[in-house]
Amino acid sequence: MHVVDAGGFSFTPAPHAACSPVRSPAAAGRIQAPAPAERMASSGLQTKKRDNHNGHFVQPTNPNVATMQEDVLYHFHLSTSTHDLPAMFGDVKFVCVGGSPTRMEAFTKYMAKELGLDHPGAEYPNICVGTDRYVMFKVGPVLSVSHGIGIPSTSVMLHELIKLLYHARCSDVTVIRIGTSGGIGLEPGSVVITRQAVDASFKPVFEQMVLGKRVVHRTHLDERLAQELMQCGADLREFPTVLGNTMCTSDFYEGQGRLDGALCSYSEKDKQEYLEAAHAAGIRNIEMESSVLAAMCGACGLQVAVVCVTLLNRLEGDQVNSPHEVLVEYQERPQRLVGHFIKKRLAAAGNPRDL
């Protein structure tokens, strides 16, 4: 068994390239028949250059990325040879990810209003319009990306997102998952800020098979960032906000001890004992993406957090049966908290709209 500790891979402090003004993807992103020099400037080979500005840069741990003539981000429908990634994304400071494409588009519109960037007739085009795998929206320094359901889909998105941020020469980036979850011992509508992402055995690790071997990654999350988000919840005073461990599973039904799936190999007593043990271990919610997010972002020097609302208390049932309008409002709670956090960060940096 090979153990990889996220703390063992750190970002590379380096000078920072000045942020380019961001134009619309249609106007600025796609490079039309670039000359050889222009093509080289937009390639992965050139992204290793850094100008004189201090910052903590996103740094993939894969050394092959820096030597690629072209890097095709296939599931985003983007490429270093056809898109000017520094111009499109160089000013990104916050990346908010969530499972639902609709939710991430709504978050973009919400942030546009909160940052004073919205105006009548404003449109926020999907940057990944050439694919139906993921959606991506940008407003100011905030990038919103969908990741689908579960670890595999999230992992694919993160590989390409991290490389995108690297090629765009982004620095001091914070990644936050805003999503939904099942609570353990919490009232529906509570917002959980993850202290530690754990697996179904309550261990703070993420396991995967690589070349036939089991590799175990640590899943540390930034404690100061979690506390900062907790303070934002206290500032708002709109809904219960708690700090607790989050259990990440590979399945929605049996993997989370539900009794209502097509398959069930355990009793209700078994389920209750398991969930009560999880609660005793400090776990306050269950979802399906936090561990891979913590492992991959931590390895590449990204400050990362997970903020999820609970849709039900799993100690009391398995099915999400609240009225639709109630669930919609619940899902807006992490958005409001993270929006408040972003505005505070920007204000502290001296500019309410940018860093």
pLDDT tens-place string over residues 153-176: 999 999 999 999 999 999 999 999
What is the distance between the alpha carbons of residues 138 and 142, in angstroms, rounded to a whole number? Answer: 6
pLDDT at 121: 86
Neighbours of 262 (CB within 10 A): 6
Cβ contact 289:227 at 8 Å: no
Please name the residue that has the structure tokens 């000045």.
18
What is the distance between the alpha carbons of residues 133 and 148, in angstroms, rounded to a whole number? Answer: 8
Instruction: Give pLDDT tens digits for 68-120.
Output: 999 999 999 999 999 999 999 999 999 999 999 999 999 999 999 999 999 88
Q: Binning pLDDT at 50, 70 and 90, where does residue 34 land?
A: very low
281 vs 53: which has the higher pLDDT: 281
**Does the pLDDT at position 344 exceed 80?**
yes
pLDDT at 120: 87
Q: Binning pLDDT at 50, 70 and 90, where does residue 206 land?
A: very high
**Does the pLDDT at position 14 exceed 50?**
no
Structure-block tokens of residue 182: 């099942």
